[in-house]
Structures are given as C-alpha cells and as structure tokens.
Structure 1
Amino acid sequence: MSITLRQLEIFIAVAETAQVTKASKKLFVTQSAVSMALAELENQLGGSLFDRHGRSLLLNARGRFLLPLAKDITCQVSNIENIMSERNDTLDGAIDIVASTTLGNYILPYLIGAFKRVHPNVHVNLLVYNTRYAEKMVLEKDVDVGFVEGPLSGHSEIQERDWFEDELVVLCGPTDPLAHNEVFNIDKDLKGKKWIMRESGSGTAAVVRERFGKYMEQVNVVMEMGHPEAVKKGVESGAGITCLSALSICREAENGWLKGLKIEGLNMKRQLRIIQRTDLDMSDALAEFLSFCDVMTICDDSGICLSSPWKLQSLLARHSAMKK
C-alpha cells in the first residue's frame, strides 16, 4: 500500500500538536483514526517517527527528516488545487500540434489535459509521428508547433529551441540475466544479445545508432517496430532487449514487468526540442500553451518519471509556486 496524502496530513498535525487528541480535534477526525493512520505510516516507512513521553509524541530523527518533505508534498497538492481551479475562460482558439512518438504518447497528453483544465475553450489537436515526419509537417505548415526527440535536418525555415533532457536506457525482461544488474556494461553485456529496434526515421533509433557508434556492429537486430509499446511487448515476451526512453518505461519498471538499465560508459542523454516555422504568426492560445510547457524545464533530474499525471501535477505545482 502506498503512502497517502491523508497519512501525511495526520503526521504533520501530530508533529505540530505533539498529541493524538489535539491532532484529532484539529483535523476533525477521531483519535482512533489518527492513531491508525500514524501506525500505518510508521509501518510503511519501516520504523517509528516519534518518541513517546507520557501523553506527548515528540519527533525523533526519522520524523524530523520526514516533516519538511511531508509539508512540501501537502503544499504542492494545495498549489495543484489552486492551479486547476483558476480557470481562464477568456482564452479560445485552436492549436495544432505534432509530436514525435515518445513525447506524443507519454508526455504531451498529460500536459494538454492539464492545459485544458485551465483553458477549456482552447481546442488542441495532437498528431503523433516520428521525428522525420513531424519536422516535415511543421515545415509544410500542416501544424503550428512540433515537439521532437530526434536529430533535425537543419532546414533554414525551421527554428528550434531546447525543451528538456531525456535519457535512453537498455530495457530487458524480468527473467533476463541482465535484470540482476544495475547498469548495462556495453563492453561486456552486448555480446550474444538479440535486439528489438525502433523503425528507421524514429528519433530514438537515430540516437541509439549515433551514440553506439562502433558498437552497432555487434548489435544483432532481430526485428524493428514502429511504436515503443510494441517494442516493450516484444521485450516482455522474451524476444530480445532494446533501448528506449526512460520516459516510456516508467509504469513497467515500477511494477517490475521490465527492467531499465543505464548504459555504463556512454552518454545516452538527448535534448528534446520544440520546433516552429520562423515565419509563424503565433496566436495567443499557442503562446500560452508554450509558456505552460515550460514547466518541464524546471525538472533538473532527467531520470524523473514524467509520464505520470501525478508527477506532472507536482511539477505544475512547483512551477506555480515559483511564479508567485
């Protein structure tokens, strides 16, 4: 069972009042509910958070460490509620977006959903293709803006700006011997492995081939697939291993279905970019959406799992707090 927000709120109340009785009155719940929530939290965290002195509960070292973290989390949730309740119904219009596969499937849907909560009258259309085709659509004015993960052609009519960093990791099944490792040693672990690759034109495939360099001669590609979900299913079935964005494997890694390994000795980080035509006449709706997307740039940990609405909302709350 995961730690709940209510448990953290009860922990903070007990820490501030030093008594279960006073905490229960402050939160308008029963004493037994406070005691039960506190006991469950301590059990989940593997140890006590308070030293008991008579009827008083005083924070021990573990509790003192947790308190500022708990307050930060509850503050972020409060900020999220403020963000989502401050609706701006005056902004309208339409935004046509194209995104390369990883971004279009694992990041943009959550961002668009959060943006629509604030600006419900703006219609957002999202198309998902690989980087090569996404750049073509921006160039031909089929869309207003593109979000891409792969190398670009450098066309003079396309302007690009950095968004945030992503990292590619080796992905294996839970029964693969590699799953016992913490990293993928490319000199030792590459030999004898079957590989599933993304299709030609994929930004992920382009980065893998570029960064692997001479090691690509040892990569035994047994199949290519046009979508990361298909690639992941192939790995899960035992058909081979692969290299995908850390953004795309969060749920599988958290549930133990697949194992992601950072590659030792190679820099597999890549810069994700936003692209537009240089002559684009930007609408108010698009300008507001791009400003909204800048929340991703405050994430200074490229390994964080961003393909989660809850963690994205946490980032949005941090962004809101920074703007105040």
Structure 2
Amino acid sequence: MELRQLQYFVKVANKEHVTQAAEELHVAQSAVSRQIHQLEEEIGVSLFMQKGRNLQLTPVGQMFCKRIENILKDIDKAVLEVHEFLDPEKGEIRIGFPHSLGIHLIPSIVAEFRKKYPNVRFRFKQGMYPSLIRDVISAEVDLAFVSPFPEKNDQVAGEVVLTEELFAILPPNHPLANEESIRLEQLKDDKFVMFSSGYSLRPIVWQACLEAGFTPKIAFEGEETDAIRGLVAAGMGVSLLPEIALFQTNPLQPARVRISEPRITRTIGLIHRADDKLPQVAQSFRTFLLEYFGLDRNTPVGS
C-alpha cells in the first residue's frame, strides 16, 4: 500500500469523480483509476460504487476513508513538525475565529506577531461556535478563539483571554440614543435585530432579555456584525453587540449606549486540542497571545 494510492483514494472520495480528482491532482485520469484499482485489489474490497456519472463510497469505503484521512493528516503534521524544528520561524499557524473578531482584533494580533516573526504564515478559518469546536477537535486548526469559552468539553483545553461587555445599539433617532446608560428592560417594546440561530451571541442576548423580564420581538436576523449594525442604523430595530464589534467600517452607524442593568458580558476563550501537543510555531503564538491579553505566560496548557 503506497502513500500515493491513499492520497488518490481520498481525493476521489471527496470529489466523487475520477476526472475531477485527476484534474486537481494534475495527473492523468488513467493513473488515478489504476491506483484505486490496485488499492482495492490489495485490501480485497470494493471501495466505490457507481452512482450515475459519479462514484460513491461503499459502506466499507466510508469507514476506510475516515481512517485514511486521519492518517494523512498525521503525516502532514509530522512533515510540518520536521520543517518547524529546522526553522520554527517559518512555520504555519492555523487559527479559527468567529466573524466578530475578524474586523479588528485578529488583524491587530497578527500584525503585532509578525513584527517579531515576519516569515510565519497564517491560515485562517472563520466559523460559528459549533464548527470552531469541531475544527479544533479534528485538527483542522491549531488554535481557535471561541465565545463563550467551553467550560465543559474534555476534548479541548485553553483559557479565557477576554471578557467583553455588551452594549445596546440603537437607531440614531431612537429616544434613548443620547442616554449615557439604560436598563435593558427599557427596550422591551422595541423590535430586535438578532443574530441567526447557531451564532453564540444570540443566546446571550436572548437570555439577557428574559432576565430583564421580557421576550425580545425579532424584526430581522443577520449573520454578520456589519449587517446587524447597518440594519440598526437604518432604523430596523435595536440590538446588543460587544464593544469589539463596534469599530466603524462604514458611514452609517447606530448609537451605542451602555446597559447598566443587567450587566451583560461574553467570554472569549483561546482553545486547542486537549490531548495533543501544539506545533512549536503555534505554541510560540499561544505564548504571545497570553502576553498580549495580559495573562501569565506560564499558564499551563489546558488550565
């Protein structure tokens, strides 16, 4: 069984088409077909079945593919670790984060880190809370910023690096727009612009409204902080956003008002796989981040 056979097999499994797989691999279609045939002969099973013009994994093929994908990831990681050992300042850091952190925080952090390590590469992956957790567990990323910090998950470890206050954002002509602070219950009759289901800010805002004695009336839902801010600024409703998501990116801006009661916050955690050692370059980045957020650089991994 050769490494090339396994790589071709996974590519065909993902594309479900030999021709498309061959194009991405930059090899002849016949070479891919031959390698798959030899692999099936060697292990004594059919890994694919024809479905129309496409190929589909057989049940045993699905089981085999999951194992092989993990093996190939381990091989890629081993090669990366060797390169980092030879020159840890030229490695690659794979980091995940929610959209709200991509506006200002992530660019600021990366720019600061690259002053010291200009040759380090970054691979970014944005996502919602569940997908970021999955990406860490499956080793798609080395580190991820998530909110809220996952207190009960044995598969990831990390630390809270930031606790943010949430502010009310209101249309500029709202009666409360010029107030220094308000109570959340004062917005009970307003319509809310909320994040869609699956975004971590939605349950935080929803629970805060319930604690303030009302169920929010939803006028619109969005998936990006820019969209939420824009809809509020256009008078479509009110919302709550963390301060880090309130950096101005366009001329149309809502009013920002502090909420005095209840005080609403969210935690932002930096997580990694609990049972795995970080690559050297990623560990250097983690140490930098702990110092950046004013945490003890000797904080043990998994604390």
Tell me the TM-score normalized by structure 1: 0.59
- Whether contact under 8 Å (1:183, 1:263) holds in the other structure is yes
Quick check: 2:104–2:247 contact (8 Å CA) kept in 1?
no
**For 1:244 and 1:214, how far apart are their aligned partners in 2?**
17
Counterpart residue number, 1:281: 277
Cα distance in 1 for partners of 2:139, 2:150 equals: 17
| Number of equivalences | 209
Opposite residue 219 of structure 2, the aligned amino acid is V
Task: Provide the rounded CA distance (Å) in 2 between the counterparts of 1:278 and 1:90.
Answer: 22
Give the conservation status (yes or no) of the 8 Å contact 1:103–1:149.
no
Does the 8 A contact of 1:252 with 1:258 survive in 2? no
Matched, 1:218 2:215: yes
* Counterpart in the other structure of 2:105: 107
State how 1:165-314 maps to structure 2 within 5 Å: 165-187=163-185, 189-215=186-212, 217-251=214-248, 257-298=253-294
Q: Where in structure 2 are the equivalents of 1:105-184 lying within 5 Å?
A: 105-150=103-148, 152=150, 154-184=152-182
**CA spacing shift, 1:160–1:216, aligned 2, 3 Å:** farther
Deviations 1:205-258 (A, max 9, x none): 1222233334474311111101111101101111011111111113379x8932
Query: What is the distance in 2 between the residues matched to 1:196 and 1:232?
Result: 9
Structure 2 runs not aligned, ≥5 long? 1-86, 296-303
Q: String of CA shifts for 1:249-288, please: whole Å, max 9, x gaps.
A: 13379x8932211212212122210111112221221111
Question: Is the partner of 1:251 in helix, strand or coil?
Answer: coil
SS at match of 1:213: helix
Q: Distance in 1 between matches of 2:199 and 2:213?
A: 16
The 1:294/1:151 distance shift into structure 2, 3 A limit, reads: closer
Percent identity, aligned pairs only, is: 21
Question: Superposition pairs for residues 39-118 of structure 1, below 5 Å?
Answer: 91-118=89-116
| SS in structure 2 of the partner of residue 180 of structure 1 | coil
CA distance in 2, matches of 1:200, 1:272: 19
Deviations 1:114-133 (A, max 9, x none): 21232121111111112221
Looking at structure 2, the residues matched to 151 and 217 of structure 1 have their Cα atoms a distance apart, in angstroms, of 26
| C-alpha separation in 2, matches of 1:142 and 1:203 | 21
Describe the shift of the 1:213–1:192 C-alpha distance in structure 2 as closer, same or farther (beyond 3 A).
Answer: closer
8 Å contact 1:115–1:292 — kept in the other structure? yes
Partner of 1:223: helix, strand, or coil?
strand
